[in-house]
Amino acid sequence: MPTLSYQGIGPRLVAQIIDSVVLVVLFLLVGFALSGSFTFEFQGEAAYPFLIAYGLIVILYYAILEGTMGATFGKKLVKIKVVKDDGSACGIGPAFVRTLLRFIDALPFLYIIGLVLIARSEKKQRLGDRLARTVVVKA
């Protein structure tokens, strides 16, 4: 088994900030595509298609990039990646599990649950990593 250099809060936080910027740009593009303007306003039921489209983009962004390349754009820039806990490639299934559990790790705000779990874990894993049997390591 290869020696893995587990990555903690610092590099993961920087990668998350970069990914958030990418997702904001995608948010604006989706809003523009659905409304024809960058000053879009959706209220009530008119907001549902937009929210669903954006939610799917967020899920697909993480699941596809981490599942196929092992890293999102933020992780690539920070030079970290997601792998299975044995060091093999992550794959779509585990990446999808990580992504869905990201919503729980983000609770109650600012990824508090995820931060606490990473800080207390020998392998620096958040809940999504533990259940998907993945780790974040130096690329």
Domain range summary for the chain, segments of one domain joined by +: 9-138
Q: What is the pLDDT of residues 29-53, one digit of tens each?
A: 888 887 787 777 777 887 888 888 8
pLDDT at 76 over 70: yes
Do 62 and 93 touch, CB atoms closer than 8 A? no
Q: Establish whether the linkage from the previous residue to 108 is cis, with ω within 30° of 0.
A: yes
Q: Average the pLDDT over 104-129 and give the result.
A: 94
pLDDT at 95 over 90: yes
pTM metric for this prediction: 0.91
How many residues in the chain? Answer: 139
Return the pLDDT at 88: 96
Sequence-distant (6+) residues with CB within 8 A of 121 are 130
Is residue 118 very low, low, confident or very high in pLDDT (cuts 50, 70, 90)?
very high
What's the CA dihedral at 106, 111, 116, 121 to 10 degrees? Answer: 70
**3 state DSSP class of 32:** helix
